[in-house]
Amino acid sequence: MVGTSPSPLDIVRQFLAAMAIKDYDNGLRYIAEKCEYHNMPMAPVYGPAGVRAVLEPFFAPTLENEFVIRHAVADGPIVFVERLDRHRIAKGWVELPVCGVLEVHDGQITLWRDYFDAATLVDAWPELAALFG
């Protein structure tokens, strides 16, 4: 039997699962060196180091993370994911509706854009206000 490569949607699901548990080494292997990661309220960053530089400090105070995938669809290399990102911090759960657009080539994410309302996040987690100016 010939092995099959994971689909772009599978890659995105595996990536999100690793990042939810802060398994950066495993998760970042899915990020291409030239990947553009853009949280729309912020400036874009590039490659695994850029993604880590954004997410590791963001997740540092979290006790638990959940990325609830509400809808996900792929068209070739393009993956759209509607999520509810849940972050448990000392004072309780912070929930953020997010829509992500990712592009996957040769098993790696080459583009990742997340769209969300920064005010929703800052209202629930005021310590993050500095991230958004």
Q: Would you name the residues annotated as active-site residues? A: 85, 114
- Residue 19 backbone class (left: φ over 0; alpha: ψ -120 to 50; beta: rest): alpha
Amino acid at 94: V
Residue 27 phi, psi dihedral angles, 5° rounding: -65, -40
CB 55 within 8 A of CB 47: no
DSSP-derived 3-state class of residue 43: coil
- Residue 77 backbone class (left: φ over 0; alpha: ψ -120 to 50; beta: rest): alpha
DSSP-derived 3-state class of residue 33: strand
